[in-house]
Structure 1
Amino acid sequence: MKSKYVILASALLISVATFAQKDQLKAAEKAMKAGDAKTAITILEGAESVMANASDAEKAQFLYAKGNAYLDLANKKVDEAKNLSLAAKSYQDLIAAEKTSGKLKFSSLASTSITQIKGMLVNSAIVDTKTNKDLDGANKLYDAYLLDKKDTINLYYAASTYVSAKEYVTALKMYEELKTLNYSGKGMNYLAMNKVSGQEDLFNTAKERDAALKLTHEKPKDEVIPSKRGEIYKNIALILQDQGKVDEAKKALSDARKANPEDTSLTLSEANLYLQTKDFETYKKLIAEVLEKNPNDADLIFNLGVISANAKNAVDAEKYYKKAIEIKPDYINAYINMAALKLEDEKVIIEEMNKLGTTSAKDIKRYDVLKVKRENLFKSTIPYLQKAHELEPTNRDVAKTLLNVYSALEMPEYKAMKIKVKELDAAAAAKK
């Protein structure tokens, strides 16, 4: 008889717990309807201990309510990153629980919310990076990747942002994962001009873009997204080099080239590494190899210019930029970089001018020489800046640089360019 009473008592305890779970869920849902997500979370946290004995349906309902409460707080900008992460975890646990039970009631709704969270994380990360909060942005991008590992571009952006945050060890792990996934990022951008705004819009697919062409858009354009594999391996090598692991860095790039023999960006990265370590013979050999394969590749020639400029080899940089322009006369970045390359010399001239006195005849004579030198330097940039402005009239940086050069040389073109810069600034402010 005694054992029967024990069984009955246990049954009563389970029954009481079940009623408690239902009451707490109802109370939490009532708080959510009243817009009080904090109270809902407090109630749900109090129910955690008894949820182990809940039915599969109640567990799913509990996890869905918890996810909604955390997401509501995130939408209200309350500990946004933390609550987005907690919401995503709740929804993921829900999906896993319903998959195990075979009863899919909330999974579809949870999946939709996870997609929303992923978008919020990415958008919030963009804001972070614009306000110099690179580490916060990187963490959010990585969280977005964990929510959808098929969307590997978020892992790539997370790695790049960790580099910006100087979190090189974490960045290296991300790049190694991208390497394991054999990620390249190569693809196509589908663009078309919006008839109303006059701006180019990006579409996910050619089909979407073609549908828009029938109604709201015109002037379709396809842009090839180049492979990012070279950049990934280059950054792996640079981080290893920074850690003093130069041999490992060289091996990483050598292995990458063997696995991807047609990817010239990898050869460029390897050449850059040898340049950084002052192995000029190997550097020249690799550059010659690249040029032999692609003697008329404007992008390749331009990249050689960038590598040379970064190595403070202005002579080679200018040679490659000019070659890129010769091959592709509308290569705007080559014009911009040529102007920037020349303007780098101004700093040295200004520093020397500032050190000179104002009473010594020798100093005054030297000052006049430097002044002419500075003016000639500015004059040498004008053709490149004017061509860049012609190719891309809406580029504010180019317009402002050209305005500063006109001002320094007291040229009559200054007035018209000043009006143009004001128009560009006003247009940019109107978009914000």
Structure 2
Amino acid sequence: MKSRYVVMASALFLSVAGFAQKNEIKAAEKALKSGSAAEAITILTGAESLSASAPDAERAQFLFVKGNAYLDLANKNVEADKNLSLAAQAYQQLLEVEKTSGKQKYSVQAATSITDIKNKLINAAIEDTKKEKNAEGAKKLYEAYMLEKKDTINLYYAASTYVNAKDYDTALKLYEELKKLNYSGKATYYYAINKVSGQNDFFNNVADRDRLVKMGTHEKPTMEKVPSKRGEIYKNIALIYVQQGKSDEAKKAVSDARKANPDDTSLILSEANLYLESKDMETYKKLIAEALEKNPNDVDLIFNLGVVSANAKNYAEAEKFYKRVMELDPKYINAYINFAAMKLEDEKVIIDEMNKLGTSTSDMKKYDVLKKKREDLFKSIIPYLQKAVELDPKNTDVTKTLLNVYSALEMTAEYKALKAKM
């Protein structure tokens, strides 16, 4: 008899607890409908312990109201970032509960809300990056990815944004995750002009776009092929290792990148640069030769070889590459600008030597020699600066440099003619 009483009391306790939770949920729903989401959350927080042991149907309802309350606060800009995240957590728990129970009463609405939250996070991240709040933007993009992992592009953008935030450790972690997922990013995007809004609307597939074009709501269908991002991912992994001073890891990463993207000459340059920094000139020259063999007349490649060589203070090699670009493409303005800038590096050395001299007869003779050397240097770069100005008359930096050269050489007529064009 005593044992039976205990069982009955226990059953009574469970029914009372369940009844209490139902009341709490109803009270929270009432508060939410009246516009007091904060009150609804307070009520639900008090019933949280009861919710853990509640039947699946009640647990799902509890989580649905909880998610709605947090989302309502976020929509009212009350700690929006925090409450969006809490709303998403509640909805995801709801989906899990109903998936386990096999009864999906709230799942469709919860999934719709999750999509809404994901879009809000992405839009907020875009606004953050516009304000150069890259760390905050990257976090939101990663949260958007965690809400819907099939949208791996959000993971890719999160990694890139962490790089912009200079949080290289987190960026590396996300890039490695993309690598494991074998993420490509290669895709075809479909667009058509909306006749009402005039906007170029995006479509997930060609069938949806063509259907609306046929219906007459859209016109001027176009498509955009997006190339694979694998090479960039591998390259960024290598560059982060370089930033962290991990040369061996960087070399392995870029080597892996080249195996995955054998036709990407930019990866050859990245690898060449790594060996250049480690003073392994033999491997560096071998890689440069390989790059040129693949694309002997690629002006962008040859220009970049000039940049790499100039950065390594290998000026003779850089000069050779820049002049080769000018031969292949006489309108490649950056080759003229970089060549002139590289040559002007020598002026600093000449000026430093001149400033060390005294007023003795021997020093004055040395001064005259250095002055002549400086004048010859200026004369040698005039044709390149003139060509750059001719190609881009609105480039004020180049124009000012040429004016300074004219002034130093006392080329008054040329100075006045150029000044008049500004």
Q: TM-score range by the shorter chain?
A: 0.7 to 0.9
Cα pair 1:188 1:223 within 8 Å, conserved: yes
Cα pair 1:305 1:321 within 8 Å, conserved: no
Q: Counterpart of 1:237 in structure 2: which amino acid?
A: A
Q: Which residue of 2 aligns with 1:242?
A: 243
State how far apart, in whole Å, the 1-side matches of 2:164 and 2:14 are: 54
Structure 1 alignment gaps of length 5 or more = 387-400, 415-432
Matches within 5 A, 1:334-373: 337-338=334-335, 341=338
Q: Counterpart of 2:228 in structure 1: which amino acid?
A: S
Superimposed CA distance per residue, residues 264-315 of structure 1 (whole angstroms, 9 cap, x where no aligned partner): 4433332232233343332232232233233455665565566557667663
Superimposed CA distance per residue, residues 311-334 of structure 1 (whole angstroms, 9 cap, x where no aligned partner): 6766366357547757xx8xxxx6
Q: Which residue of 2 aligns with 1:430?
A: none
Cα pair 1:343 1:381 within 8 Å, conserved: no
Matches within 5 A, 1:104-123: 104-123=104-123
Q: Counterpart of 1:148 in structure 2: which amino acid?
A: E
Q: Which residue of 2 aligns with 1:425?
A: none
Residue 161 (1) aligns with residue 161 (2): yes
State how far apart, in whole Å, the 2-side matches of 1:199 and 1:384 are: 35
Q: C-alpha root-mean-square deviation of aligned residues, in Å? A: 4.1
Distance 1:89 1:346, change over 3 A: farther
Distance 1:32 1:198, change over 3 A: closer
Indicate the SS of the match to 1:410: helix
Q: Which residue of 2 aligns with 1:53?
A: 53
Q: Which residue of 1 aligns with 2:388?
A: 381
Cα pair 1:338 1:384 within 8 Å, conserved: no
Shift in Å at residue 80 of structure 1? 2.2
- Aligned positions, number: 387
Q: Percent of aligned positions with the same letter in both sequences?
A: 59
Q: Counterpart of 2:282 in structure 1: which amino acid?
A: E
Distance 1:224 1:24, change over 3 A: same
State how far apart, in whole Å, the 2-side matches of 1:190 and 1:8 are: 65
Q: Which residue of 1 aligns with 2:280?
A: 279
Q: Which residue of 2 aligns with 1:410?
A: 419
State how far apart, in whole Å, the 1-side matches of 2:194 and 2:298 are: 32
Q: Which residue of 2 aligns with 1:89?
A: 89
Shift in Å at residue 60 of structure 1? 0.6
Structure 2 alignment gaps of length 5 or more = 356-366, 404-417
Shift in Å at residue 91 of structure 1? 1.0
State how far apart, in whole Å, the 1-side matches of 2:306 and 2:208 are: 38
Superimposed CA distance per residue, residues 152-178 of structure 1 (whole angstroms, 9 cap, x where no aligned partner): 121111112222222222211111111
Matches within 5 A, 1:30-429: 30-190=30-190, 203-207=203-207, 210=210, 211-212=212-213, 216-218=218-220, 222-295=223-296, 300=301, 304=305, 307=308, 315=319, 318-319=322-323, 322=326, 325=329, 337-338=334-335, 341=338, 379-385=386-392, 402=395, 409-412=418-421
Shift in Å at residue 339 of structure 1? 7.3
State how far apart, in whole Å, the 1-side matches of 2:209 and 2:224 are: 13
Shift in Å at residue 25 of structure 1? 0.7
Distance 1:77 1:371, change over 3 A: farther
Cα pair 1:268 1:286 within 8 Å, conserved: yes
Shift in Å at residue 351 of structure 1? 9.2
State how far apart, in whole Å, the 2-side matches of 1:265 and 1:120 are: 36
In our comparison, the structure showing a higher alpha carbon Rg is: 2
State how far apart, in whole Å, the 2-side matches of 1:325 and 1:296 are: 10
Q: Counterpart of 1:382 in structure 2: which amino acid?
A: V
Superimposed CA distance per residue, residues 209-229 of structure 1 (whole angstroms, 9 cap, x where no aligned partner): 5555965543x6554423322
Shift in Å at residue 63 of structure 1? 0.9
Superimposed CA distance per residue, residues 216-253 of structure 1 (whole angstroms, 9 cap, x where no aligned partner): 543x6554423322222222222223333212221222
Distance 1:50 1:267, change over 3 A: same
State how far apart, in whole Å, the 2-side matches of 1:55 and 1:317 are: 74
Superimposed CA distance per residue, residues 20-63 of structure 1 (whole angstroms, 9 cap, x where no aligned partner): 11111111111211222211111111111101231111111111
Indicate the SS of the match to 1:315: helix
State how far apart, in whole Å, the 2-side matches of 1:187 and 1:231 are: 15
Cα pair 2:305 2:321 within 8 Å, conserved: yes
Indicate the SS of the match to 2:245: coil
State how far apart, in whole Å, the 2-side matches of 1:343 and 1:146 are: 50
Distance 1:384 1:72, change over 3 A: farther
Cα pair 2:66 2:90 within 8 Å, conserved: yes
Q: Counterpart of 1:54 in structure 2: which amino acid?
A: A
State how far apart, in whole Å, the 1-side matches of 2:98 and 2:3 are: 36
Shift in Å at residue 100 of structure 1? 0.4
State how far apart, in whole Å, the 2-side matches of 1:36 and 1:322 are: 69
Cα pair 2:302 2:322 within 8 Å, conserved: no
Q: Counterpart of 2:274 in structure 1: which amino acid?
A: L
Cα pair 1:63 1:94 within 8 Å, conserved: yes
